[in-house]
Amino acid sequence: MYQIIGIHPHQHSIKIEWNLGKRCNYDCSYCPSSIHDNTSPHTDINILKSTVDKLLTIGKKLRISFTGGEPTVHPQFEELIQYMRNFDMIEFISVTTNGTRTSQYYRTLPVDQYVFSVHFEHDWQKLLNSILHLYSSDSKTVAPKGIIQLMAHQDKMIHVRKFASTMDFYQLPYTIRRVRWTQGDHDLFDDMRYDQNDLDWILSKNSTVKPNTKMVNDNTSTEYHSNDIIKLHLNQFKGYTCYVGLESLMIDWDGTVHRATCRVGKTLGNIYNDTFIIPTEPVICDRNYCTCSSDIPITKYKNSV
């Protein structure tokens, strides 16, 4: 049997990928307009708190990961986080951010993890300095866990290499992700945009973040970080029984709920207008590639041929 198993306890909790809104203070050339803009209104805080209440009715521990857009631009984001901390059923809160808030903001917000996405079309030096300040050894308080995600723009590779070298020097965990310009899943990445030396360097750099996924093939198993599974093109699970919807959910910016970021299986309704239906069965994957690192650790299996 072929199996994909999350090393962390996905089977006993629900991972919620929550796109808090499309609003973002960046306008990266490779980010599609379907997931970001500079004008969309912020969702009312009462709707967001009500959504937390509804998620708690699922009856499992929740691990909530905020994305966007840029979640920290919501004017009441801190109030939402404080509200969530009232519930023991919410065991983990992660925030994916472009890192444009101050290091003091990130240090004091009561979350468990940050995923800093470094976009080299913008002021990456400022973000580098902020990260080093946040995780400096002489800080008086401990910052939440941090993972640095380098978005390796093909025209900015000299900066990507410098940033990675600095992370190595300070032993900070990071991943390197090729930019995916192509829409749809027919191409994993536009590798032809890269100089071959740069592409070879990217492919040679294993994630320094601890593995989060175990790939089992009959009697053998190997542990990877999900970003490396994508990078190595090991992410072909079409025909697998997949537990998206049972171990994961994705809330889109308008409240539409999907089983996961991949959107496999039919829409589960809208949690903002009370039409969300909790799924009870796994689905058969119909995608050529699993292209989101948050979806890969979800349990999947297929019988050996």
CA dihedral 98, 99, 101, 105 (to 10 degrees): 130
Tell me what pLDDT residue 305 has.
Answer: 61
Tell me what pLDDT residue 186 has.
Answer: 47
CA distance 35 to 23: 9
**Whole-prediction pTM value?**
0.91
Tell me what pLDDT residue 219 has.
Answer: 80
Is the distance from CB of 202 to CB of 178 less than 8 angstroms? yes
CATH H-level, domain 2-302: superfamily: Aldolase class I (3.20.20.70)
Strand duo 13-19 + 61-67: pairing: parallel
Tell me what pLDDT residue 38 has.
Answer: 87
**Domain range list for the chain:** 2-302
**Residue ranges in the chain whose pLDDT is less than 50:** 186
CA distance 243 to 253: 23
pLDDT in tens, 196-206: 999 999 989 88
Tell me what pLDDT residue 156 has.
Answer: 97
